[in-house]
Structure 1
Amino acid sequence: MFHPPVSEDATAFLKRGTPAYRRATFAIFCAGLSTFASIYCVQPLLPLFASHFGVSAANSSLTLSLTTLCLALCMLVAGSLAEALGRKPVMLVALGVSGVLGLACAFVDSWLLLLVLRALVGVALSGLPALAMAYVGEEFDPSSLSSAMGLYISGNVLGGLAGRLLSGGLADLGGWPLAMGGIATLSLASLVIFAWLLPPSRHFRPQPLSLRGLTGNFAMHLKTPALRTAFALAFLLMGSFVAVFNYIGFRLALPPFGLSSTVIGLLFTVYLLGSYSASKAGSMVDRIGARRVVQIGIGLMLLGIGALATPWLPVVVVGLALLTVGFFAAHAVASGQIGQRAHSAKAQAASLYLCAYYLGSGVLGYAGGALWQHAGWVALMAGVAISVLIAAALTRRW
């Protein structure tokens, strides 16, 4: 793969303000954008899936839950392979295969086949998030690490926003197949940018594939208290966040709101606030510490959940904004701690964090559907609040 000329020392770390830093952060930004757009483009489409295929609200969410569950489980394998094969090659394959599978989703009219393809998208994307985090932890100068990770999380945020906004608008124009095809095209365009701009790894040291070594690395990370806390936070906070966004579309489509898919999609512009909070949170760590920033983020999430339980649309919008700002601030800081607290096998540490992250999305995201169907919106908000409160208690050990 060809790259733009690089004039910096081939052994130097990527430092803020340099051309190499700008190329790398934009490439990583595009990778995060593509990944999250591919995963979450189905959220505004869940009511359309339920209507078109004649499935329940909880079952319609399987188009997201299966993706994130497969992503979580296969990420452990992908992270291990990347310790031997390298970062960039695996990430390129992940982006390319997921884009092709996303295009295939636009041409099926079988619920079972759609679920199979969405599960395979999760398998393909498992080779990207943990490796991107490991790449940032290895290649960026320590003084630039927080800002680089914040930009990567911002790409995740904007990817989630772009996926939801575009799919909602395209669905109103041409149905869910047009929405799925449009997002897949965006992903393939991001692949080209990523392949061209990302500098090759300079500090990656391959490890031979060894089952004993791989399981030993996982055990080492799980025995580290600070890492265990981060993994638990990832599960609880991401699961809570997704449980809200999975079913907010169903609630807002019903009286007293009665909003269209496009208008519901526009509400996801609150993700822009999450992009800002992710980058801002990284800069706050040096001043007040990682634990305090995460606790502030969790507090904002709880305020947002309270507002979301009300029947007034302006208050609901404020609640979505608070939930999003708080979640991405907490996630940006918690994920940034992985590279600092894992002293070796960083890709595997990142894969464990993201495994917990996406397991939370799949498990709590689906469980939220049962609460929504059988007990209503307020019960769902109560369940989400309990998860976030448990996360708040865990931060006291950090």
Structure 2
Amino acid sequence: MATFAQLYSPQGLLPLVSADLGVPAHEAALLVSAATLGLAVSVVPWSLAGDRWGRRPVMVVSLAGASALAVASGLAPSLEAMMVLRLFEGMAHGGVAGLAVALLAEEVAPRAVTAAAGTYIAGTTLGGLSGRLIALPVAEAASWRAGMLAVSAVGVLCTLGFLWVTPRARRFVPSRTSVRQVTRTVRAHLHAPALVAVYAQALLLMGGFVALYNYVGYTLLAPPFSWDPSAVGLVFLAYLAGTWASPWAGRLAARHGRLRVLVAATTAMAVGVALTLVPHPLVLVPALVLATGAFFAAHSVASAWAGTAAVTGRAQSTSLYNLAYYAGSSLFGWLGGVFHEAHGWPGTVVMVVALVLTATVVAVVVLRGDETAPAR
């Protein structure tokens, strides 16, 4: 909640930012891409800190720093200054994104890791949903900056909640991992075809998913929909499909095999994205629900796969997964706006479907050999 509400709070506000500042969609989207880029480049350094000082203490520092920077970015005097602060805010958020699954892999029984990771992913959907739902009504009543600051206030409260309820680690063993060791581990991971294929899932699926939600608001505010901003914000309730699908996918993967669940999820996501081309709310909204639930199901399976498939250096493997995940968010979240400016909503949809189908092909071709048993 504290991390993902603040990280994505500008997403639903992008059409308001464009209207207020007179900037095109792909420039407004940099408020999201700057933060996710910062997160992408920071996850490996945060994993080093987590190896040395423990996952929970480092996550506390991450949350506190990110909340302070979120407040500062909401008060920044210009879009450019806000983008710089959002970059640093994203770097601060990397501690949670880079270490949460590694903490679970250490503290949870091995047979339950996939389900536990699915529960964590469900929490990220609630965080992302709450950020959008809180920001838009406040923005409509006051301003888009006020909407971002309202989410930051919630982030501070959730940070305090994390400090209150999170137990101390029982199985963590500190290690002073050197940069050379990390480089060696990262190189080994990048030479493992199965792990590279899992990282590709993160890059392509997350890139397409963020592009989908970055620009659907522009479509719903314009004819033939012409919705109010608050009504557009309600579309993010589709995230609840991800809250349900994430742990469900983890349980299915443990029972039927990861690859089968992953491919079914990515196929369903492609279908859902394609159906958003139908210009009627009775089709577009259910299509968003389908695409959202399918994305988080795939993400749940792939993120757990990144941790369990690495024999050593699990923190580095989950960090590489997160690096790819948020690099995809930054790159394709911005590129989807370029397609949108050139070809409208159909251009964005075609790009997203192409990304999802590429991820599906990579999974089928490369991961089949790694699917020798259900998830560990």
TM-score when normalising by structure 2 = 0.95
Deviation string 1:89-125 (CA, Å, 9 cap, x unpaired) is 1100110111111112232231111111111110110
Q: Give the counterpart letter for 2:329 in structure 1.
A: S
Rounded to whole Å, the distance in 2 between the matches of 1:386 and 1:233 is 13
Matches within 5 A, 1:371-386: 371-386=339-354
Rounded to whole Å, the distance in 2 between the matches of 1:346 and 1:387 is 27
Rounded to whole Å, the distance in 2 between the matches of 1:212 and 1:99 is 32
Instruction: Give 5+ residue unaligned stretches, structure 1.
Output: 1-32
TM-aligned CA deviation for residue 146 of structure 1:
2.2
Q: Which residue of 2 aligns with 1:184?
A: 152
Matches within 5 A, 1:242-391: 242-391=210-359
Q: Which residue of 2 aligns with 1:13?
A: none
Between 1:386-395 and 1:209-218, the stretch displaced more is: 209-218
Rounded to whole Å, the distance in 1 between the matches of 2:149 and 2:268 is 35
2:175 aligned counterpart, secondary structure = coil
Rounded to whole Å, the distance in 2 between the matches of 1:98 and 1:53 is 25
TM-aligned CA deviation for residue 360 of structure 1:
0.4
CA RMSD of aligned residues (A): 1.1
Q: Does structure 1 conserve the Cα–Cα contact (< 8 Å) formed by 2:267 and 2:357? A: no
Matches within 5 A, 1:74-85: 74-85=42-53
Rounded to whole Å, the distance in 2 between the matches of 1:314 and 1:258 is 15
TM-aligned CA deviation for residue 258 of structure 1:
0.7
Q: Give the counterpart letter for 2:10 in structure 1.
A: V
Q: Give the counterpart letter for 2:235 in structure 1.
A: L
Rounded to whole Å, the distance in 2 between the matches of 1:286 and 1:113 is 46
Q: Does structure 2 conserve the Cα–Cα contact (< 8 Å) formed by 1:105 and 1:177? A: no
2:155 aligned counterpart, secondary structure = helix
Rounded to whole Å, the distance in 1 between the matches of 2:222 and 2:69 is 32
Given candidates 142, 145, 162, the residue that maps to 2:130 is 162
Instruction: Give 5+ residue unaligned stretches, structure 2.
Output: 368-376
Rounded to whole Å, the distance in 1 between the matches of 2:271 and 2:38 is 32
TM-aligned CA deviation for residue 79 of structure 1:
1.4
Matched, 1:147 2:115: yes
Q: Which residue of 2 aligns with 1:44?
A: 12
Q: Give the counterpart letter for 2:133 in structure 1.
A: L
Deviation string 1:170-216 (CA, Å, 9 cap, x unpaired) is 11121112211111111111111111221222222222242211101
Given candidates 211, 216, 234, the residue that maps to 2:179 is 211
2:142 aligned counterpart, secondary structure = helix
TM-aligned CA deviation for residue 81 of structure 1:
2.2
Regions of 4+ moved over 4 Å: none
2:252 aligned counterpart, secondary structure = helix
Rounded to whole Å, the distance in 1 between the matches of 2:164 and 2:254 is 33
Deviation string 1:7-63 (CA, Å, 9 cap, x unpaired) is xxxxxxxxxxxxxxxxxxxxxxxxxx2211111111111111112222111000000
TM-score when normalising by structure 1 = 0.90
Rounded to whole Å, the distance in 2 between the matches of 1:143 and 1:306 is 36
Q: Does structure 2 conserve the Cα–Cα contact (< 8 Å) formed by 1:106 and 1:176? A: no
Indicate the percent of aligned positions where both proteins have the same amino acid: 37
Rounded to whole Å, the distance in 2 between the matches of 1:150 and 1:356 is 19
Matched, 1:195 2:156: no
TM-aligned CA deviation for residue 373 of structure 1:
0.2
Between 1:198-207 and 1:215-224, the stretch displaced more is: 198-207
TM-aligned CA deviation for residue 71 of structure 1:
0.5
